[in-house]
A = this chain, B = another copy of it.
Amino acid sequence: MQPTGRVTIGDVARTAGVSVATVSKVINGRYGVAAATFSRVQEVIDQLGYESSLVARSLRSHRTNVIGILVAEFEPFSTELLKGTSRSVQGTGYELLAYSGGGRAGSDVGWERRYLSRLSGTLIDGAILVTPTVVDAQYGIPVVAVDPHTGPSGLPTIDSDNFSGAVTATRHLIDLGHRQIGFLGGRPDLESARLREGGYRHAMSTAGLAVDEDQVRIGGYRQVTAQEPARELLSLPERPTAVFAANDLTAIQTITVAGELGLRVPEDLSVIGFDNVPESALSVPALTTIAQPIQQMGVEAMGLLLDLINGVERDPHVRLPTALVERSSCRAL
């Protein structure tokens, strides 16, 4: 209508001299339209560059062929996952809609429920929740959780073996001769963080090493929240010779803080992370870490969600293995 406004189904109908219902049928390939009418309408659509509004369509039909990926923010973990889902959605006929609030993540528990409420019932046919903190029993649409930050729930879930990974990380440091091993944890309310701390403690006690509670800090998984705890950890009179940080971001922050404190990594301090996000290879020195197959987790999440949508029966829980990736941030004592 307006020169710059978007063209609606009404514009197409008027131009083609038919009703909007007929245009709708053409768009959706419904039966009951004469071939001549069909091609005339199609022509007008092309000519006007009409594209149906996702919003209006979904409000009405509750089917959109769009999969939602809900994340707290776009950081290395969620974007890696995105790459995996993007790859595996190809050819399925679905499109991807990644949604993230603007709020400070972490402080904002319950974001997943809010986002889902805003989008579901309309707009998306299914959702992948990335590291949700709270997972309710039922949403209106099929939902898959990736690495949920809470204990076992009814939700179909993709995660990786956090406990084993943490054991591997800690044991690696022990094998290198370290005895004073600090732990920069995630958040006590998050399942993955608890499992990683559990793995750390398990490996320590298995090796007959006592955990000095002063050397266990809460890093919060984010650079900003890890700065202070890392500084405290490295300023201890009984300074640890190695630190296992619960994720790569905080491990990298630990390296930064060490530098500020005049400590060289790995000469004065060994640091190991968890996740193996691409950034871990970029740090100086390159970070030794525990790899989660993050992109693969995205692929699995997509596969599971599609199966759910299509009513395929299958195991709703996929756990992927972790592996040690040795780079340059650890050294033997």
Report which A residues bind B (CB closer than 8 A): 4-7, 49-56, 58-59, 73-76, 79-80, 82-83, 85-86, 89-104, 113-114, 117-123, 138, 140, 277-279, 281-282, 286
Cross-chain contact A74 with B102 (CB below 8 angstroms): no
**Given A6-B120, A117-B49, A118-B54, A83-B89 contact (CB < 8 Å):** no
Cα–Cα distance between A277 and B79 once the two chains are bound (Å): 13
A55, B122: Cβ atoms closer than 8 Å: yes
Q: A96-B99, A282-B281 are in contact. Are A90 and B118 (CB under 8 A)?
A: no
Per a CB cutoff under 8 Å, which of B55, B73, B91 touches A59? B55
Sample (24) of A-B pairs whose CB atoms are under 8 Å apart? A4-B140, A49-B113, A49-B117, A51-B117, A52-B118, A53-B121, A53-B122, A54-B118, A55-B58, A55-B59, A59-B59, A74-B82, A74-B98, A75-B86, A82-B82, A90-B102, A90-B103, A92-B102, A95-B100, A96-B102, A97-B100, A98-B99, A98-B100, A281-B281
A74:B86 contact, CB within 8 angstroms: yes
- Measured CB to CB, the nearest residue on chain B to A6 is B121
A251 → B minimal CB distance (Å): 15
**Cα–Cα distance between A64 and B50 once the two chains are bound (Å):** 22
Apart from A7-B117, A79-B79, A91-B102, what are 10 other A-B pairs with CB-CB below 8 Å? A49-B113, A51-B117, A53-B117, A54-B122, A59-B59, A79-B82, A86-B100, A95-B102, A96-B98, A98-B99
CA distance A55 to B115 in the complex (A): 12
Contact B281 A123 (CB under 8 A): no
CA distance in complex: A74, B84 (Å):
8
Q: Do A96 and B74 have beta carbons less than 8 Å apart?
A: yes
Neighbouring B residues of A55 by C-beta, 8 Å: 55, 58-59, 119, 122-123
Of A86, A96, A140, most B-chain CB atoms within 10 Å: A86
Contact for A104 among B82, B90, B103, CB less than 8 A? B90
